[in-house]
Structure 1
Amino acid sequence: MVTMKQARHPKPGEMVLTEVTAALSDPIRVGLVRVLADGRERGWGELRAPVAKSTLSHHLRVLRDAGITRTRQEGTRCFVMLRREDLDVRFPGLMAAVLAAAIADDVGTQVGVGEGDSTR
């Protein structure tokens, strides 16, 4: 029997500004946040980025560890969503500013959502 360890998600009070901003310092991660900003939970297999699957997994882990996203596992499938409400409680206005700047500066547009297998 294979046991899968549960991902740790920091509580809003445990989120650290420097960790959040460091996680947002990469254009691929900003693109992932832009995709997830619609509030929908996405299967990892739906996410499209110009990087290897292992690199995409790394980017998703960095976002999760900083508290920016929440990952949920269902069998062999993983789903991710933006923790917008938690971030807005902890850092009011930060996500709105990041998203507005990303749109204005055209950051993260290489990341998107596609059809396909959402198992990982």
Structure 2
Amino acid sequence: MKIKKITGIVLTVLAVGMVAMSGVMKLMGSPESVKGLEAVGVAQYAMMLGLAEVVFAALFAFPKTLKIGFLLLASYFAGALAVEVSYGLSLNSLVPLILIWITAAVRNPSIFLPENKPEIK
């Protein structure tokens, strides 16, 4: 049990840190992040996308909002992955997407597996 908790904390720090840093880079107008957004024609939305990443990462970090944070982050990065595939770009959003799914599964397996509820007769 202790190993699972430590693993969950480490994965959460990595996932939230990666997403939050990406969001902060977009908010600051980092040339690397703006260049990637310009390639797909959404550079004018860099501030909004950066803010979304930071908020979604914060929601994912806390246990009470883990599920909504997971849904928002998974949707965000799945959309980013779809754009990258359609434009023939490198699949940069695949790593955070996989990390978010693994982290969510370790922290709260009930997201993916049904809970055992008694049958109502």
Q: Radius of gyration: which is bigger?
A: 2
Kindly indicate which of the two structures has a greater share of residues assigned to helix.
2
Kindly indicate which of the two structures has a greater share of residues assigned to strand.
1
For normalisation by structure 2, the TM-score amounts to 0.31
Identify which of structures 1 and 2 has the higher relative contact order when contacts are C-alpha pairs closer than 8 Å and 6+ apart. 1
For normalisation by structure 1, the TM-score amounts to 0.31
